[in-house]
Chain A
């Protein structure tokens, strides 16, 4: 089971570090990251394996989203199936 974590917002120091720390603490294994900074806006998409997650997925979603709010970022964590079904036949 994999999840896509998308992070957008104003660029700042330690965004990747913050999100990765939460992933590590909660047992999500980061598989891939793409990241870019357009003018001053930061956008990152992270693919994480959540099969070894130590907490329920919904809680993981909330923790990341709250972390995002505290750093003025929008963090959305979604199960990969929504992307697969929508874009692949």
Chain B
């Protein structure tokens, strides 16, 4: 019989420490949906998604029952929509977003990702049209997530795109102003975007992906945090070891669920995303892990070092537990979705500058941060440019998902609800980067010898 202590450990992780599978995301290619006829294009998209993912939610629920582990979200990601819009104009893109939303409703999923464009080197006509449609698309749909890749280490940084995204984020905030500018919570600006990310809002089905694929994102900040508490006063080598072992166990569950889901749905297994994805629930926070490691409050000097170690140990433990690893893989630090981060911003310990430094050593980037509603487009573009440069220079993914909450000022609180949580509006540096941003053009790709 299996060791009793092991059984109790697993049950305790699920019941007390919020271990769950954060998402099973089915990636679906829409490349064969193109049509010059708008009606046919929309029908093709709707039919393909609803047919392929028909059993996604049901299968997820069955697996949940079988293993007794919650699978919080079942989602779909599709080919970046800018690649399938052909000659159609902006208005058609809005209709595509509505079609994706309708498909998500039919399937019973909570988000669908891939209303995206890849413009790291420049714009195509269709990516321009898609980006122009983003504010309206996000304001009239509830489940569609959008992302734009504006830079890569190979191509450099498209500053015209960054300027445009500053404007797009502001417009989206305005159009969803009655709902705390929530549209911006569904819009991510990326550098070096991964093609197989299962997590929203940045998920899409990359161009090198097969027809259909299953990707799984695990979670478990609570489990890591408790393991660290139990370890007591050990040194950091031992702590890294404990984190690795815990990450291994968490990821094994992800691998089990992913292979079972892939088999039941008759779709290839893609990757497991080795992530520590927090939620606003108590005991499910990445910030609290860092505090458990010995910081008085997240944001204190030492936070970046602690996070770097945590992130690295999670990867090392997780890699061995899964046959294929991908996506964003690492610790997430979304402010509004992490109870400890919210508290640290509210008490002034965690600033946007510190968050930016933290993103240099963990996955994702400046995520779910509420900023004052009167922040200018240029300042938003400046925030994006800074964050994106970290990714480009360090050959890693970085992203920006900030919410200029309409009518809100520093210190106010913004409520998004559900997994998106709530956030205090953070303090920004309002000196203008206007002239720098308005120069436009491209920042050349960085050199990767002469490393300093």
- With CB as the reference atom, state the residue of chain A lying closest to B250: A86
Cα A56 to Cα B88 in complex, Å, equals: 49
- Is the CB of A81 closer than 8 A to any CB of chain B? yes
Cα A61 to Cα B256 in complex, Å, equals: 19
Residues of the A chain whose Cβ atoms lie less than 8 Å from the Cβ of B256: 81-82, 85
Cα A21 to Cα B62 in complex, Å, equals: 25
Cα A78 to Cα B63 in complex, Å, equals: 10
Residues of the A chain whose Cβ atoms lie less than 8 Å from the Cβ of B253: 82, 85-86
- With CB as the reference atom, state the residue of chain B lying closest to A61: B65
- Is the CB of B449 closer than 8 A to any CB of chain A? no
Residues of the A chain whose Cβ atoms lie less than 8 Å from the Cβ of B62: 58
- Is the CB of A80 closer than 8 A to any CB of chain B? yes
**Residue count of chain B within 8 Å CB distance of chain A:** 22
Whether the Cβ atoms of A47 and B1 lie closer than 8 Å is yes
Min CB distance, A24 to chain B, in Å? Answer: 20
Cα A89 to Cα B69 in complex, Å, equals: 20
Min CB distance, B69 to chain A, in Å? Answer: 7
Residues of the B chain whose Cβ atoms lie less than 8 Å from the Cβ of A20: none
Residues of the A chain whose Cβ atoms lie less than 8 Å from the Cβ of B4: 34, 45
Cα A6 to Cα B4 in complex, Å, equals: 10
Centre residue among A79, A82, A83 by max chain B CB count within 10 A: A82
Produce 1/0 per residue, B229-258, CB < 8 A to A: 000000000000000000001001101100
- Is the CB of A73 closer than 8 A to any CB of chain B? no
Produce 1/0 per residue, B162-182, CB < 8 A to A: 000000000000000000000
Whether the Cβ atoms of B10 and A82 lie closer than 8 Å is yes
- Is the CB of A76 closer than 8 A to any CB of chain B? yes
Cα A14 to Cα B44 in complex, Å, equals: 59
Residues of the A chain whose Cβ atoms lie less than 8 Å from the Cβ of B2: 4, 47, 80, 83-84, 87
Cα A32 to Cα B11 in complex, Å, equals: 18
Q: Which of B6, B66, B249, B255 contacts A79, CB < 8 Å?
A: B66
Q: Which of A62, A81, A86 contacts B249, CB < 8 Å?
A: A86
Produce 1/0 per residue, A49-89, CB < 8 A to B: 00000000110011000000000001011111111111100
Cα A58 to Cα B122 in complex, Å, equals: 51
Cα A63 to Cα B11 in complex, Å, equals: 19
Q: Which residues of B50-91 have CB atoms within 8 Å of chain A's CB atoms?
A: 62, 65-69
Residues of the A chain whose Cβ atoms lie less than 8 Å from the Cβ of B66: 57-58, 61, 78-79
Q: Which residues of B12-26 have CB atoms within 8 Å of chain A's CB atoms?
A: 15
Cα A84 to Cα B8 in complex, Å, equals: 13
Min CB distance, B253 to chain A, in Å? Answer: 6
Please judge, given known A-B contacts A4-B7, A76-B11, whether A87 and B249 are in contact too, CB under 8 Å.
Answer: yes
Cα A81 to Cα B67 in complex, Å, equals: 8
- Is the CB of B431 closer than 8 A to any CB of chain A? no
Min CB distance, A89 to chain B, in Å? Answer: 8
Centre residue among A31, A45, A74 by max chain B CB count within 10 A: A45
Whether the Cβ atoms of B249 and A82 lie closer than 8 Å is no
- Is the CB of B452 closer than 8 A to any CB of chain A? no
Cα A78 to Cα B11 in complex, Å, equals: 9
Residues of the A chain whose Cβ atoms lie less than 8 Å from the Cβ of B65: 57-58, 61-62
Q: Which of A74, A78, A87 contacts B67, CB < 8 Å?
A: A78
Residues of the B chain whose Cβ atoms lie less than 8 Å from the Cβ of A77: 68
Residues of the A chain whose Cβ atoms lie less than 8 Å from the Cβ of B67: 78-79, 81-82
Centre residue among B15, B62, B65, B253 by max chain A CB count within 10 A: B65
Whether the Cβ atoms of A86 and B68 lie closer than 8 Å is no
- Closest 3 pairs between A and B when the two form their complex, measured CB to CB: A78-B68, A58-B65, A87-B6
22 A-B pairs (CB sep. < 8 Å) = A6-B7, A6-B8, A6-B11, A45-B8, A47-B1, A57-B65, A57-B66, A61-B66, A62-B65, A76-B11, A77-B68, A78-B11, A78-B66, A78-B68, A81-B256, A82-B253, A83-B10, A85-B253, A86-B6, A86-B249, A87-B2, A87-B10
Residues of B within 8 A of A (CB): 1-4, 6-11, 15, 62, 65-69, 249, 252-253, 255-256
Given contacts A58-B62, A83-B2, could you give 15 more A-B pairs where the C-beta distance is less than 8 Å?
A: A32-B1, A45-B7, A45-B8, A47-B2, A57-B65, A57-B66, A58-B66, A78-B69, A81-B67, A82-B67, A82-B256, A83-B10, A84-B2, A85-B256, A87-B2
